[in-house]
Structures are given as structure tokens and as C-alpha cells.
A and B are shown apart, each in its own frame.
Chain A
């Protein structure tokens, strides 16, 4: 029997849209839609982030079709911080779950749970209904290892609330074996409820369409004069930029003269300055370290394609997409032996201890000077990269959702629609009563509730009309 699957894509609306999570969410949704067969795929977006809705529609419409978007309304602002939003946020959580329940999909997939701390995204599981099988994508649990990420009391409490939603989810889709192990270890989730769905790089990242002219153009633009080894990622302490610079400084001067170190990353002036100072301190000559600043995707592909070696020295990753992107471009790639990086790189003799600049330098030296090793890494890159594909990941998601639906089919008696509506109104009224709302406030609330109701009705009618 075909399934009705609702994908909550708020993670492609918030600031996450500019980072890995947003890209992952969209690429996965497209792949699910391509591989859905008979299944009907719907997408939930929030009206609280209106400026992103059209762009997402355009990105997805060719694979999803027109009437597949459910737009959720709430009274904002609903971000977890500042605390004054608390009541609105709690109402919005209930309204969202109620709206999803009205559409009554067979399964829900939330592509990003950790949303809405400073932005108007709302995610919750089982605060109002617990009968709809819900799966969540788990990228990583890095904030549990790094207390600086959600340092304030409010932020920390909010994060732990989200972790409880992970525990309530019917199934967690981890993006790597390493994240999957963390879910079991750190969240205490049963292993049977976690699946590794892996990740993939955008098909855009391939050296096929890059010409040698493209490469010389970007090299010129970013002041790369010789051969180069590179690293790219968003700057965070765990990415270990400092370790990489120290390791590079340990290479023999002759090797450094021949190969510049190129760090592709959008850096603030102060961090940029910090890295430059470090380079001087460890004895690098002028021009040996190149900081590109922000680089658009088309140039990033050319930079990957043109480099002799890609180094991924991160201490901690959920997956480690840049390493896969580099390998997809056929670049010899070495990386740290920590968390998920070994899974992505896929060969033990290309790994090093990221806490040891000596070990990292030794591996870099070998990859840059031992031609046999370099050639073998290059041929391995393509083979390894081919193991990751969005279609494969999407198929794992669809299979996982099917299992989840089959498992949950034997749930208790269904709550009558009228009874559920009444319960929703009572819950919402209890929350707003603390603020002593006036008639206009209540009228606005009633309009919001009904606009969600109508959006579901219209979507249902459209599905019936198109006969799907």
C-alpha cells in the first residue's frame, strides 16, 4: 500500500539552509521524491519564515509536483530565546502537531530537530499526539561534547528538550555509523530504533566538468602560485585548523616550497588574523598559507579538482562531507581517525591521529612525496565516493519509514476528531490564559487555528482532484 509521507523541512528554511543541514535536507527530500514510486510525499514549511518558501517550492516542485506543500501558521515570534516567547512557542508546538494530525500522514520525517533557538522554527514530537510514526534525522550530538555551543541555561535546557524528542521519535536516521553509536550511547536509544542512512555529496562535486582553464583561473584569483594541498569546512575549533597549520609547518622546507597550504573557509577578520599569526609563529614563509575566505560552489569544485591532496583533520564530525566532496572530485584524501571520518575515507592507511601534528605531518609527507601512495589514494577516492549516493540514502529512509509504519500499526483506539479538536483548544486555552488574552487576541488565535485547518483541507481536496 502506498504511504503518505510528510517531510518537515523547516531545517531548509532557517539559517541551517546556508549550512550542511539545509543542503542535506533538500538533497534528501529530492531523492526521496525521485524514489518514492507510489508513495505520496508532502512537505511542511512554516509561514513564520516566509521569505524562504518560494525558493524551496521552486527547488522541489519538479520532483514533488504542485500540491505537495503544507504551510504551517502560528503566532510569532516563537524562537526559544528570548524567554518571553515561551507561551507562543508552546502554542505553536501544539498547533503544528495538531495540523500534522489533521493531514494524518502514515509517517512524518523531521529533517532537522535542533531548530528554533533564535529563529521562528517549531519542532516537537509527542507533545500533543503520539500516534503518528515519526522519524528524525540525527546529524550529530556534538553539543553534548562541547558545552560552549549551548552555553546559557536557557539554550542548554532547550537543547535537552530537543534530545527528549529524539528519544520519543519512532526511529532515528543517523547520518553515519559514528552518529548512530552516539545515539545509543548518549541518548540511551535502543539500537533497533536507529538506522544509519549515511549521506552523499551533491552530484555537482565531480571533476568531470572542470577544465584546466577553470583551475588556473581560480588559482590566480586566490593567489595560489604552485601546487597545493587543501582543506575546506566551516571554521569551528573542532575542525582543527591550528593542528593542520602546525603539521604543515613540520614538513621539510623543500616540500612546503613546492606545495602551498590552502584553507577554504569563510573566516571572520579576527580568526583570519589569528591563523596568520600562528603561521608566522610556527615559521611559515610568506605565501605558504593561503586563506581564501568565502568561495562559491563553482570555484570550490575547481579548487578541489586542482589540488594534490585534501586533508581533513577534524576532531569530531557527524559525517564529514568535505572529505567526500573532495573524493568525489577524484582527489587523494587523508583524514583524522576520529568519529565518522574513517567511514567516509574508507581506508585505514589514510588516517592519522588529529591530536598529533607529527602523525599528521608524516601522513601528509607520504601522500605528497610517495607517488605510488598518491596514485593509490587517487584511484581509491573515486571507488569510495561511488559508495555514497542520495538515491541509496533515500531508499534507506523509505524502507525505514515502512518498517516504522508496520511496527506502529497496532496502536490503541483512534481518538475521535471532535474530541481531539476540543483537547487541542483546551490545551491552547490553558497556555494563553496565563497571559489573560483579550477578545482580539483570541480572535487572532482562532484565525490561526482555522487557517491551518483550511490549509489541510485544501491540500486534501487537491489530492482528491488530481486523483492521486
Chain B
């Protein structure tokens, strides 16, 4: 009896019949069980008293005792000692009572005179094992129940008829304690019949046997609308695997939904604010453009006013010249008449008159000058024409957002015409332009960048108040895939403390009212953001500043074509 799986047993016999008790004892001794003690009481009360003092592994109980009868005996004993293994030993043969006894806490049912030590042995061993399993089950069920009750998510189990067959306390709290046994559509949807199968998420689980997730709005017992996120899976299946019941776990996401709604609202407000900022920025950029145009308008006006001035003046003078020619022509025609019919004296008189008039009207000067008048006026008109042409090239307001193929060199030239008057008193402009520098760009915008940088350079030079003029150098060339334009000045340069800020909006070193502080930040935006180019600055205090503008070069296919042509020619 010392082998593995064997154990010692303490046995209590509760039996009022002394003979039966003795018989039991003898049979026990004939079993292979290792029995350490056998106690015997005749009454239930004695048994209960004894059990309070001592531990027993098995109670062999006769239900009909002097102080208690029938199932009551078993129930009382089980109630007080639920963990005790009880085997009923009785004289009756009523199957019904036997079953009831098993349901009331007994592990087995032996009928007096119908068992031998072998059966008794088996019964005791199995009963103890069964009781242990039952206890373990009860324990884990207790844990499970505690868990299910503690979970704040709603858990319900629904059968194929959509009847709620089980609900945890969270679900009951929301929908009422009486929901078990009611239909889910009744509880959740306040309907009298099933929801249409297409819209029923549980139905899908029953049909597919797969896990399903969904969000839904449900009315609780107080009539409040609540949002849930639900998961459902098959809980029970029939033997052939058909889903029989579905467990649904629902989380109340009403608060999260509200928070989400709040976030959406906040986000929308932010977006609006952002939009407003963008509009303000556009307005600022536009203002900056107008400011830089306005700044130059005076210069351009002067540039135009001068040629228009002398051309208009010349035109006015030309009228006087013509009058003089007319006067003289009239006099010559009178002279011609005199030659036909007049006397020598009258002819001589006319001649003298003409000579007189020639002198007074300064005809020598007029005749000599009239050629110049035309040449100079024509030159003046050409100048006006070219200014207008360049202005149009410069701003291209008519196609504000278009990107076109554009030669940066012509951009530099157009900008110089516009900016020349602003610069020419402060600096000499030296250009070193390559043959052609084709880029895809918005020429108006790119020219604005040139203008900003050129005007800045000129103002920087002016700020030094030097005797001699400064120098602004403009160089263009191509480098790898970039069209490069370098604009350098020999102005005062920019200090290390300032150079990092020059592209910041509103940063300006110019006196109040002179600069918006947006010129370079707008330039940066145009080159870097709008044209995917680069805008960098190099500067040394006392030496000057260089701005380097790089724009993606258009790869010229014409060159390749030319090469092919040349090849064909040599081949031919």
C-alpha cells in the first residue's frame, strides 16, 4: 500500500443499524485500501459534531437515521461540509432517489447487500477522485465567474433564436437584470421581431462560424444612446460543429466617441485657423510683391519719363521746324513766280528776304539738327518700347501660376532693365552670362527673386555711403543638372549672427518702413518650395555677399539630336 497513487483513508460510517455498520467495516478491511481510521456514528448530529473535530476523506452515509431522514440527511451534511466526499449506502432501491441523491451532493450510491469489497473499493476511490475534480471545477468556475463579473465590457451569450441565454453583470447593469431569456433585438433595438439577416452581425457569426467585429449604437434601459464596439465568436457548437450559441463582448465607446468627436471638432478648428493663416500668408506675399513693385515703380517711371520727355519735346520742336520749312517754301514759291515775271530788283529783294529769314529761323542749325532729332527720338522710342517689353516679361501677371520653359539669362536681362535705375547710382553691374540656361519655371516669380536680391545688394552697397560705386556681379552657368545664377556684391556683408535669419519672414535690417522683411523669405519659398531649387547665401563681413540660386536644368534634347545628325553626316 505504499505504491504511487495510493493514499491513506480516514473513513466515517454513519449508520444506525449496528449489523450493517459491522458488515461495512468488515468489507472495508477486505478492500485493498490503506485505511488509517474508521469511525462510526449512529446519528447525524453525532456525525456533524465529529466532522467539526476531525477530518475525514469519505463518509459512508445511510440517509435514514433516528434524527434525520431521506434526502434531508444528505443535504444537511453536504451543506455543512460541501467539500466532503459522501457515498450514500442505503437499503432502498428507488432509482429516483438515487439520482436525486447524486444531484444533492453524493458522489455515489451503494445499495446494501448488493456490493462487495471490490465494488466498495472502486466506489471510494472514484468518489474521492470525482469530488476532487468537482472541487477543481468549482474553483475555476468561481474564478471565471469573478472575472466575468469584474469585466466592465458587456458579455452576453445568444442562441440561434437570438435569446440571451447568459449575461454578465455589466450587461445587466446597462440593460436590466431581467435580460436573460429575452431576445437580443428586444433588448438592444427595442424591436418585436428579428433584425433583417443582412444587418445582423450575430447572424453572420452563426452563419460563418467566424469571429466578427463591428461598431454599433444601442439604446440602454434609460433610453440613452450609447456607442459600442463589439466582438462576437462562436461559444457553443453542436456535435456536427454547427454554431449553437454566440458570445458577444461589447465595449462602451461612447466616451471615446465623444472624445473623438471633440478631436474632430478641434481638428476642424485647427484646419480653419491654418487655412486663415495660409490666406494671410498669401496676402503678405502679395503685399510684398506689390511693395517691391511699388518700390521700383518710381525707378521705372523715371526710366520711361526721360525718353518720353525728350521725344515729346522733340515732337513739339519738329512742328516748329516744319513751320519754318513751310515759311521758307512759301518764300521760295514767291521767288519762283518772281523769276518768271518779276524784275531783277524784285528777284534780288526776294532773295534777300529769304536769306534774312534763313538767318532768323536759324535754318543752318535746323537743317543740320533735323537728322539728329529723328535719330534721337527714334532711340528714345526704342528705349520706351524695350522697357515696356521687359516689364511685361518681368511680371507676366497674365499667367501667374504657369510654368514655362524660360532662359534664366533673359530673366536676368529683363530684371536688370527694371532694376537698373534703382541700382545704377550705387553700383556698377557686371554680367557674365552663359549662352543659354533653360529651366521650367514661372518666369514672373523667378524674376521677382532676381529683383529682390539685386535691390538688396544695391541697398546694402548704398548703406555703406562710400565715395565710389560698388560692384554687383551676376554670373550664370550650368553645373550638373542645375542652372546656377550667382549674384555677388561687394557690400558690407552679413554677420554670422544674422545670416541664419535672413530667410525668416519679417526679418529685416532696413529701417522701419523701408523693408517688409519678406523679400528673401518669399524668394526662398519661390525657389525652394515652388521650383524645387536651392537658394543659398555666402557672406563675409567687409567683403560682400553672394546669393546662389539653383534651378533644375532642362536637359536639352536638341544637343543629342545634333550629335546624331553629325554622326549620320560622318557616316554618310
Partners in one complex: no
Chain B interface residues (CB < 8 Å from chain A): none
